[in-house]
Structure 1
């Protein structure tokens, strides 16, 4: 039975061009043992490290969507006094299929706004309003009245921009255009 042999590596360094490998120089004892066994006389040993323990991944949860509200949003004050505005938007995507014909696809996303933003936008948002939102995804799970597990992902809105002008903006622009036409 072969005796257990420990390999010692000296002068270890990490390759910057291959961060999951380590290059080291074998000690003189190991080289002599390898030579006695007819192995190569190379003094460099390369082995791969497990890449997962050193994996550093940023925690990114950001989403940006543009679409239209599919229903009038639900505004209410919660039991704790917080203002909440909940709605749903439809986001369209056009693409060419395998036959190079245009196809339309619509995805629906639940959105939620809180506090001052909810109060401010409650009167301005209605079914059909085009919006651009940024925020983060948030998931919720619960059991319904039949004790069935339920799951929902919604967009916790950080910023919402209404993409259509309201009546005041349009009226002001019409007055400016009429004034410009009269001056001409």
Structure 2
């Protein structure tokens, strides 16, 4: 039997505030939409921006973290399994959507107006669980990596 693998990594922005609910079984799930964008120039020189929307669902502990810390517009790093989902819209048309079942999540930026962490800070708010914290980054590059615009010294 051949092995298969389904792992997706997304860095995108939330399109709406997360919505949480508890199922009759007692399981907690939080759903939110995430947009990724790419831009390119056509042969005619016209700049085109293309946005792809994903529906994300976080379960149990990640559901708690998502509902507590994520807000519309936040940038987030997500890992999970992707699947195509079909549904019928309000007008009766069959639509498809990409749904991501989140297995790992990291907050990428903060809301400065709330005094929170920002793109350049090293950690999430003190109350954030370990799963929601961003990995820390060095404050500045070591002196051996200082940029002096001399590409001749590169080892590769």
Please classify the TM superposition score into its range, dividing by the shorter chain length: 0.5 to 0.7
Find the aligned partners of 2:110 and 2:5 in 1 and give their Cα distance: 32
Q: For residues 67 and 77 of structure 2, what CA distance do their matches in structure 1 show?
A: 16
Task: Give the helix-richer structure, 1 or 2.
Answer: 1
Which residue, 116, 120, 130 being the options, matches 2:75? 130
Moved over 6 A (4+): 142-150
- Counterpart position of 1:104: 49
1:159 to 94, 100, 104: 104
Corresponding residue pairs, total: 116
In structure 2, relative to structure 1, the CA distance for the partners of 1:71 and 1:142 (3 Å cut) is closer
**Residue 21 (structure 1) aligns with:** none
Residue 79 in structure 1 maps to residue 7 in structure 2 = no
Following TM superposition, by how much is the alpha carbon of 1:97 offset from its aligned partner in structure 2, in angstroms?
A: 1.2
Separation in 2, partners of 1:57, 1:100: 45
Bigger CA radius of gyration: 1
| Alpha-carbon offset, residue 98 of structure 1 | 1.5
Q: Gaps (5+ residues) in structure 2? A: 122-156
Deviation, structure 1 residue 142: 6.8
1:141, CA displacement in angstroms?
5.2
String of CA shifts for 1:129-175, please: whole Å, max 9, x gaps.
Answer: 111111111344578999987654310111111111363446xx7xx
* 1:16-47 residue CA offsets vs partner (Å, 9 max, x unmatched): xxxxxxxxxxxxxxxxxxxxxxxxxxxxxxxx
The structure-2 alpha-carbon separation of the partners of 1:86 and 1:146, relative to structure 1 and needing over 3 Å to count, comes to same
Change over 3 Å in CA distance of 1:80–1:97 after alignment to 2: same
Aligned equivalent of 2:124:
none
Q: What's 2:142 paired with?
A: none
Counterparts of residues 29-48 of structure 1 (less than 5 Å):
none
Distance in 2 between the 1:148 and 1:93 partners? 28
For residues 44-65 of structure 1, the C-alpha deviation after alignment (integer angstroms, 9 at most, x for no partner) is: xxxxxxxxxxxx7540111111
TM-score, structure 1 normalization: 0.54
Contact 2:74 2:110 in 1 (8 A): no
Alignment gaps of 5+ in structure 1: 1-55, 174-184
CA drift at 1:94: 1.2
